[in-house]
Amino acid sequence: MADAKVIPFDDDRPRAGAATPRPGRRRPLLGGGTRRKGEAPVSPLPGPQVPLEAPADGPDAPGGAGGADGTDGAQADAGGGGWERRIAGGLAFLRRRITGEYEVDEFGYDKELTDQVLMSLLRPLYEKYFRVEVKGVENIPAQGGALVVANHSGVLPLDGLMMQVAVHDNHPAERHLRLLAADLVFMLPVVNELARKAGHTLACAEDAERLLRRGEVVGVMPEGFKGIGKPFGERYKLQRFGRGGFVSTALRAGVPIVPCSIVGAEEIYPMVGNAKTLARVLGLPYFPLTPTFPWLGPLGAVPLPTKWTIQFGEPIPTDGYPPEAAEDPMLMFNLTDQVREQIQHTLYKLLVQRRSVFF
């Protein structure tokens, strides 16, 4: 695996071996990546269509007689028509996948695949395994751009994925969270493709600003590898938030910053050591040693079933600042510190309220 190097969100120093940026793309911050052009829009399917509703009257109408055995229409629909619609929908979905009649945006985001497949795969982990409790999701605006800034932990970036499901399944306006990811994510086979289809993109200021100006909800975890790879003894102690690059991006786009605090991810892989030599050999930012990994092999990679809480705080507006505010280092420092302190304070409050790591 190629060597992955963590670069601050707002660091504009060129990296050795980095790919030549495409025209108009300045200040690459966490690596390069290929863009997928949008494909053709979805075309209507030929042939007969499966009705989505039963007739308004007749034996199949809701509340009417469903047959000689006295089964009502609602039961008949649940037992028969519901499955027929699911099967027809699944076959139509597969057909669009095979023929390429689906849409992706310029970043490679595939909304249909994310809604119908990727969220369905993550939802059991979210609902049954980690039993995530979500608070304050209404603090994310119902429309327009917003930058969600969260703490990062857990050895593997499961916290970002759970935050994405939390917004997708709980926001009243059914918003979608577009995560900014490190370059290592886009260097891994399979993971690279899935990340792009799920709406993730490289953590660089230009991409983030473009998404925000389009009215998207963007998620960033400024701690990066410093947060996700910190030892267990430093759990829930926020690492440095960089130089305020995310604040500068929010100021330029004029969107609010929504602090987000995640409790529960720190304990899924208690990192008691770091095999730094092995990490350098493998080209990784760290190689975690936990009570179960690598001693138990693949079984040691199973996360502990901790109880999670994700809380979205009060948004911090940025639209009242003048355009030149994005270049004011003191303002960026103050706003960065304000966001960091709000997340840290909420983490402490949630930890005090927590009854147990697992309940």
Q: Which of these ranges, 49-63, 135-149, 282-296, 320-334, has the smallest mean pLDDT?
A: 49-63
- For the chain, how many structural domains are there in total? 2
φ, ψ for residue 219 (rounded to 5)?
-110, 135
Residue pair 103/112 in contact (Cβ under 8 Å)? The answer is yes
Domain residues for the domain of 152 are 111-268+303-353
For residue 118, how many other CB atoms are within 10 A of its CB? 19
DSSP labels, 245-272: HHHHHHHHHT--EEEEEEESGGGSS---
Q: How confident is the model at residue 80 (pLDDT cuts 50, 70, 90)?
A: low
Q: Same domain for 152 and 71? A: no
DSSP state of 164: H
* Domain annotation covers residue 148: yes
The encoded tokens of residue 10 equal 């707002």
Question: What is the distance, to the nearest Å, from the Cα of residue 167 to the centroid of all Cα atoms in its chain?
Answer: 9
* Domain annotation covers residue 239: yes
> Looking at residue 331, which CATH number applies to its domain?
3.40.1130.10
Q: What is the per-residue pLDDT for 95?
A: 86
CA 144 – CA 124 distance, rounded (Å): 30
Q: Same domain for 138 and 90? A: no
Q: Stretch 233-241: mean pLDDT, rounded?
A: 94
Q: Same domain for 86 and 208? A: no
* Domain annotation covers residue 196: yes
CA 197 – CA 121 distance, rounded (Å): 14
Residue 317 has pLDDT above 70, yes or no: yes
Strand partners, 202: 181
- Whether residue 124 is preceded by a cis peptide bond, meaning omega within 30 degrees of 0, is no
Q: Same domain for 223 and 79? A: no
Q: Same domain for 155 and 74? A: no
Q: Same domain for 171 and 307? A: yes
Q: What is the per-residue pLDDT for 256?
A: 97
Half-sphere CA count of 259, side-chain side, radius 13 A: 18
